[in-house]
Amino acid sequence: MPTAERRTTSVLMCASRQMCRGSSTSRWRNSDASMSPSTMRGSHSRSRCTSIRSSEWDDVLHTNLRGVFFALKYQIPVMMAGTGGVVVTSSSDAIATLAERGAYAASKHALVGLVQAAALEYGQNNIRINAMLPGTTDTALVRRVAGMENAPYAVWRAGAAECAKSHMPGLGRMANPEEIAEFALTLASDEHPFLTGAALVIDGGKGAQGG
């Protein structure tokens, strides 16, 4: 299973596309696994299709979809010298969303289509490309949106457990970041060499109830 190293760039600036290219060719020359995590831009904003501003729509799509496009564009050529696995982080909203989340859901659903096309294009090069669709995960962003970023851990956990009773069907809790990371590393590894072009959900059962 591959190890992971985090590298952060802004996907909205032209200079960052050059940075992405440089990162791929210099730092990951011998890479056999790649993560292309989209952000959560728009995941907690609520707007109807008829009221969302065009600038907000563009911001969400440019960040969540365009950013991953550039990551794939510059990562895949580096990996073509050997074999490898790419994991693109989409969201369970790609298959089951809620009202007033059109921009976010559209961007995450589009990522699945991008992954499927790329998997077909580069399968003959022994590059596997899959999409991971996680549900709500206990991250700093989720805590910040809930207004509990600075709350004691015990208080946060109690509030999250109460919220899960009515908003998180299935296992009735959020994912731990470690659970999502381990799943992603498994997908990126060579443990499943016949797996490509797939959209794999890890949402604790949320999608089973339709969002």
Residues annotated as catalytic (active site), given as ranges = 104
Alpha helices by DSSP H, listed for the chain, are 14-22, 54-61, 67-79, 102-122, 140-145, 153-167, 177-188
Q: What are phi and psi of 123, to 5 degrees?
A: -60, -40
Q: What are phi and psi of 167, to 5 degrees?
A: -120, -5
Helix (H, G, I), strand (E, B) or coil at 191: coil
Judged on CB neighbours under 10 Å (0-12, 13-18, 19+), 128 is: buried
Q: What are phi and psi of 113, to 5 degrees?
A: -65, -40
200 in Cβ contact with 23 (< 8 Å): no
